[in-house]
Amino acid sequence: MAPNIQSKTQTQFNQIEQEENDVICKFGVITDAQFANCEDRPAWYNKDKRRYYRGAITHLRKAFNHWDSMKVKPKFVLQLGDLIDGLNNEEVGCNSLDALEETFKLFEEFSDIATFHAVGNHELYNFSRTDIALLFRESLINRGKLNPEKVHLQLNFHSSDLSDENTLLYYKFQPQQGIKVIALDTFDVSIIGHSPDSLKYKQAAEILSKNNHSCLSKWDYDEHLEGLNKRFQTQNGGLSENQLKWLKNELEESEKNNEKVVVYGHTGLHPDSCDASCLAYNYDEVLKIFSQFSCVICYLSGHAHTSGYSVDENGIHYIVLHGIIETCPSSDAFATITIKKDQLIVDGKGSEMSLVLPINTMKRKTTETVDMEIDNEFINEERSENTDKFNDYEEIPGTSSIVEVSV
């Protein structure tokens, strides 16, 4: 049966969200803060958009104040990458460590809600893979209050064996029985974060050159690329064979244990959820793995600076968050996600969208294509004919759209 997306009023949505009796797990999500202690400026790719570099801290504080004030606080927060901007490493007067410290101080202030990090491209403009892995661990475990054993946190790098190639930034944790959270490293195979003489750099360079992108010094350069090939850009990356194997093993284990799995990473995975320029190089291999299991309920990502949503034929939801950096500091850019037995509720504030989604844990269908019908008062007529995605939501002024999807 085709899923049907229907609009909800704010009152209806609040009622659904506040029905706490069947809540399994609640967590917060933020992305693309891109903090830098420098002046605001228009986005390089669209002069109508503005980047509020210092406003990132205001956004983070408002998000945590909100979560801290909730009757039932989120168990944890997922930070989907690009916490600080690459400008920190380039501009006089900005400093990568100082910028990261500003954000860490805030997470420390609210350390009863542990913040887990995914690596973004901007992390790797500022730090080596090894350094960012250690810094994130420092924030989460040493300076935070997290007891890694309590949430079965399993990082995939060891202090005794650190090099940029050995530092694996994908990991898992289990905040409670029945829920597993998997962080993907969408820059595992990339020319950023690895030295040019490393195997993974060479693999990434080969992927780029095979796909008509031979100028490795050019960023955000896709004029000569078409369609899905727009993902083959230097600021993106992919998952290594080893990471894919690890992911498959984790999902196999979750399937056996009847767990619900939330997966997150920086770049997009589903072509209908974001622009092709924001997808992981081998997104299709990840989707193929997802399709073999019924435990994955959603994949969360940032990187696109535009809200997006799609659902695949297996009922897995792909949610792309708009993020902080291009959201005016007087607004908000965060979401609270509630997992219920049969529903996934995304309560987006400010530039983030709100969704009421069904959780499909029935055996996956791999062949049926599902079309979606959109009936949403907030989507203009032209967009409502686009039946399988909600991209460009942020261009609809003053809305925080609430939609319900039923399969």
Give the binding site for Zn ion (CB under 5 A).
82, 120-121, 303
Q: Which residue is nearest to Zn ion (CB)?
A: 303
Closer to Zn ion by CB, 82 or 188: give it.
82
- In eight-state DSSP terms, residue 223 is T
Min CB(122)–Zn ion separation in Å:
6
Asked if 151 and 182 count as a contact pair (C-beta separation under 8 A), the reply is no
Closer to Zn ion by CB, 120 or 193: give it.
120
Closer to Zn ion by CB, 82 or 326: give it.
82
Min CB(266)–Zn ion separation in Å:
6
Asked if 96 and 89 count as a contact pair (C-beta separation under 8 A), the reply is yes
Beta pairing partners, 356: 345, 404
Min CB(31)–Zn ion separation in Å:
9
Min CB(51)–Zn ion separation in Å:
13
Closer to Zn ion by CB, 236 or 376: give it.
236
Asked if 166 and 176 count as a contact pair (C-beta separation under 8 A), the reply is no
Q: Which of 297, 219, 284, 202 is nearest to 254 (CA)?
A: 297
Q: Which stretches of 150-272 are DSSP H helices? A: 199-210, 241-256
Q: How far apart are CA 322 and CA 74, in angstroms?
A: 20
Side chain identity at residue 355, one-letter code: L
Closer to Zn ion by CB, 55 or 265: give it.
265
Min CB(69)–Zn ion separation in Å:
30
Q: Which stretches of 269-312 are DSSP H helices? A: 283-290
Min CB(82)–Zn ion separation in Å:
4
Query: Which tokens is 171 given?
Result: 């990991």
Q: Which of 120, 29, 18 is nearest to 71 (CA)?
A: 18
DSSP-assigned letters across all residues of 304-324: SSS-EEEE-TT--EEEE---S
Q: Is the dihedral of CA 334, 291, 243, 157 positive or negative?
A: positive
Query: Which tokens is 276 given?
Result: 């092709």
Q: φ, ψ for residue 154 (rounded to 5)?
A: -125, 95
Those residues whose C-beta lies under 8 Å from the C-beta of residue 282, and which sit 6 or more positions away, are 238, 239, 244
Asked if 344 and 404 count as a contact pair (C-beta separation under 8 A), the reply is no
Min CB(128)–Zn ion separation in Å:
17
Closer to Zn ion by CB, 194 or 303: give it.
303
Closer to Zn ion by CB, 219 or 378: give it.
219
Closer to Zn ion by CB, 113 or 324: give it.
324
Min CB(228)–Zn ion separation in Å:
18
Q: How far apart are CA 170 and CA 154, in angstroms?
A: 9
Min CB(303)–Zn ion separation in Å:
4
Closer to Zn ion by CB, 82 or 347: give it.
82
Closer to Zn ion by CB, 190 or 401: give it.
190
Min CB(235)–Zn ion separation in Å:
7
**What's the chain's Rg over C-alpha atoms?**
20
Residue 362 backbone class (left: φ over 0; alpha: ψ -120 to 50; beta: rest): beta
Q: Sheet harboring 317-320: ordered strands across?
A: 154-156, 168-176, 179-183, 260-264, 296-301, 317-320, 308-311
Asked if 287 and 273 count as a contact pair (C-beta separation under 8 A), the reply is no
